Each structure stands twice: as structure tokens, then as C-alpha cells.
Structure 1
Amino acid sequence: MAPVVVVWKWVCGRDVIIAEIPDKRNGRHGRDMVFYNGVTHHDTRVYEVHVNDVHAMDITTGLGFVGDGALSHVLLFVTKRHEVVPNKWEDPHRDAVGDTIKYLVSAIAEEFENRMGEMPWYDTIFDPLLEGRGYLHGLVDTWVPEDDLRVRKCGVVGGDDDDDELYDGDDDDDDELYDGGDDDDDELYDGGDDDDDELYDGGH
């Protein structure tokens, strides 16, 4: 089955697409899924994150449900796949990885809007070389960047004032691959390309 796009956002100057891989749903994942007490069963999903057509991260997700089928606990295991992703977040700039994860949590909240427990919670676990971002846990809820208490500029460490360079910091032409005006998600993914760096079309 073709990947299913769940998020397509412009994250600080980068075209970010998150797509579930249906063929990997409830498959072997090698993760230690430890949910809160009360969770009686769970599903697993694998999402690919593409940044400007580059396969940048994988997010293996565990969805824990209580007895009545309501979503109660979400686990997100994040793996870096490309150097476009920074290993750690530096204040005072926005955290591109964090924003990407919160967009995914928001999409999950929308999907399970009518099937969530009273206090559905999510936790994020990072694989090396990614360093943990301690704030990436909380209620499963919809989110936009303006929800943050202190909205940070997009940017990178080291005195670079180019706000379009949050993910990798090199100043290249791929900042303009996406103009943000295309709402047609149905053709984001080109399933016939074997080149991982060009899995997503994104060039509308």
C-alpha cells in the first residue's frame, strides 16, 4: 500500500511531510512499548518524515488503548535518517524536530478526537544521535506554533540570521521547493521512485 500523508507543513523554511507506512502497521518493530497502567491493548505505526524531499526521520509510534477502545497513551520513538536533522536543540531558536513531532501528535489527536480517554498522554523517546528534548511530552491535543508560550524565531546556532535554515543550516536553493499554497495532499507521494531522497514529489 502507498504511504498515507498525515502532515504536510512548512516548518521554519522547510517542506516537511509525515506519512504513515501502512505495510508496517502492527509489524515487528523491536521497541519496548511500556504503557501506563490501564492500557489493555495497543497498535503500532511507522511514520516517515521527509524534509525537502529527503528521508530525514522515522517515528515508530505505539498507540495504547484502554478497555473501551479510547486512546490513553502514545509513545513516539524517533530515529534520525539524514544529516539535515540537527542532533540537539539550541535556545533561543525554535526546535524543528520538536515542532515536527508536535504536528504529528496534533494529527493523532484529530484522528482520535472522538475516541480519547480523559487525559491522553504522549511521551517521546529519541535514538542516538538525537538528544532528548525534555519538553516533548504532554497531553495528546491539537497544536499550532502560536500555542507556545514564547514563540521563538526559526534559525540555527552560530550567528546565522537566516530564519529559513532551521533544519541543516546550509544556505541552498531548496528553501523554495514549496510555496505553501497547495492544499492537494492526494499527490504528495510518488510511490514509484526508488531514490529515498526523492520519495515525495512535493514540487507542486
Structure 2
Amino acid sequence: GYTSCIHARCHAHLLRELEAARELTGQAWPHRLQRLLSGAHQRVESAEAQGRSALPTHERDELRQEYTALNAGREPSIPSRPSLPPGRRGRPKKTKVQNLLERPSKRPADALRLVEDSRVPFTNNQAGQDLRMAKVKQKLSGSFRTPIGAQRFYRLRSYVSTARKWAFRPIEALRGLLVVNPSSPSRRGALSASTIP
């Protein structure tokens, strides 16, 4: 499995959750956290433009302290858990609102991972976009006729997605598949092509 991976929160999702928390509570702390995260992203981009792979230690410490203080200093707005019906044992299940309001304070290191390493993306929307077509295909009537057809489709999608990330135009990358020597890292410093069965 992926037990040795270092995790990071997707800030696009976190910002949306904070916006929902602000609307639910009418309080200021979600908006302050949103500003902190957006500001951290701008600082990381600025540091990256100057050739640094992370923010200076004092800036990282400052952001961590502010993030922790904002989470600790929020008003006690989280509603209590509903009580269990008579005769049932155990802890009552948390409501969606409780989970939403508690989420920003969980795993703060994951929320601030990008200040440690500028290679960590602010959002994982690209991964979602890469997978969205798969969900659309699953819902279409007929979907794929054969497993081999599905495998070919996803291999091509993966190839085009990688091509875009390496700044190739998709049409160039697909044309490259038709020639004897497709684009490879040794030639244009970019894309490695595998044969599509």
C-alpha cells in the first residue's frame, strides 16, 4: 500500500469547506483561515519564483502558529451530538455539520504541507479532472464494449494528460504515437511514450 506517503490537503476543497462553515455559523474564523491559506499559497509561489523550494523556517513557523491559533480561537459553535435513542449503546454519530466544522483543525500539517515543499500543489483538481471522464464513461449507456477497449481508452487518456503536464499539445503527442520514435525524455526533455495495444 501507500503507507509511506506524505499526505497533503487539497486547498480547493478546504476553502470550499471553510466557505460552507462560514455560511453555517456566520462567524469570522472560517474567512480568516481562507485568507491565511490563500496568502500562504501566494507566499509559496513568490518563493518558488525566487528559486526556493520552501518558505524560510520563520515564515513556516509563523503560518503554523497562526493556523493553530485560528482553529483554537474559534467560537464554540459546533452543535453537540444528538443523544442516542433509548436502549442503544455507544457514542452517538456526529452530524455532517459537526464533521464539516471540525475538519480544518484535523491534521494541520497536511493543510500546510505546501509551505514545507513548493512541489506540493495547492489543489488536487488535476487528479479530479483526469478521473472525471472515467465517471462520465461509466454512466453513458453502452459504456465500453470490451475490457480491451476500456484499457486502450484510459491508456490514451493517461498519455494525453501526461503530455499536457509536460507542455505538449495533445494533438502533437497523439501524432507522435504514430511515428517510429515518439517523444521521449531524452529528446525533448519531456514525454515518454509506451505502445498502445
Q: Same fold (TM over 0.5)?
A: no
TM-score using structure 2 length: 0.24
- Higher Cα Rg: structure 1 or 2? 2
Task: Give the number of the structure whose residues are more often strand, by fraction.
Answer: 1
